[in-house]
Copies of this chain bind each other. A is one copy, B any other.
Amino acid sequence: MLGGARACRRIERLQALSELDGLVVVLVRPRNPLNIGAAARAMSNFGAHRLRLVNPYAPGFREARSAVGASDLLETAEEYKTVAEAVADCALVVGTTAVRNRALRQPVRRLDEPAGAPIRTQLQTQRVALLFGSEKIGLTNKDFSHCHWLLNIPTKEKNISMNLGQAVAVCLYELARVAPLPTATQDQDEDIEPATAGQTEQITEILLEALRMSGYVKPGTDAMFEKKARRLILRFKLEAYDAKLLLGMVRQIVWKLRLGNKN
């Protein structure tokens, strides 16, 4: 079946994601268990599984119901007293920030500009820590001092404050995305069989007949409408499957119109 085959081919293409096995997600002083659960869920979605918490003020977070499909991640999450301990085994430490209104001492990279590539490169050989601050105040300057550089999710000036779970999801999506951006927008439907000119012509003819019988095409204007109808059908850029479908529909309609005329 065409639909099934199409779907299969697409699913194959969906497997490849960058490996986030070496990524350590560090939540610093999180307060809301639901946010911790949501962070874990996003990690599970994108293939990260090392969750560390620095001084969480979030009783019962290990049972957070928001961690759909990621309860194992909450169970194995490690707790630390300091940022220093939480990132000790990491070769690169990156802090997240909404920037603005702070004289930052560390370089800031936008997530959608060069931030993903250096992290992915590092991840091939070393562990990388990605730090997220508390819901209210984010990371402090002291937290930043542990970071090689800072990462900013570009947002509108009007509302720069993101929800913690959403910020984790956006960062991990960007890190997990397939590395190279395609150089040209490929038409991904290239494997779909297009209609032949013969099929298109059959549809044009039967459509014209329906239009004649219904009075849409007035006597003497046939030639003009023939061209008009053909161009229309061509602009549909029909697939072979759709051409058959459409042909069947219009044929049935014409059969019924003929029946009506006989009465």
**Chain A interface residues toward B at CB < 8 A:** 1, 3-4, 6-7, 10-11, 13-15, 17, 38, 41-42, 44-47, 66, 68-70, 99-100, 102-105, 107-114, 117-118, 152-163, 165-167, 169-170, 173-174, 176-178, 180-189, 207, 210-211, 213-216, 228, 232, 235-239, 242, 245-246, 248-249, 252-253, 255-257, 259-261, 263
Contact = CB atoms under 8 A, between A and B. Distances in A.
Most buried by B among A156, A174, A255: A156
B14 A163 contact: no
Copy number in the complex reads 2
A110 B13 contact: yes
A152 B100 CA distance: 33
B185 A117 contact: yes
Given A6-B107, A170-B170, A236-B238, 15 more contacts: A3-B105, A41-B166, A44-B158, A45-B162, A45-B166, A69-B159, A70-B159, A112-B177, A113-B178, A113-B182, A166-B166, A210-B253, A211-B253, A216-B252, A236-B237
Top 10 nearest A-B pairs (CB, nearest first) are A260-B260, A214-B256, A166-B169, A112-B177, A69-B159, A263-B263, A216-B252, A236-B236, A44-B159, A47-B156
A172 B41 CA distance: 19
Most buried by B among A160, A207, A260: A260
Contacts of A41: 159, 162-163, 166
B6 A104 contact: yes
Contacts of A174: 173
Contacts of A216: 248-249, 252-253
A83 B109 CA distance: 39
Contact of A183 (B173, B183, B213): B183
Contacts of A256: 213-215, 257, 260
A182 B114 contact: yes
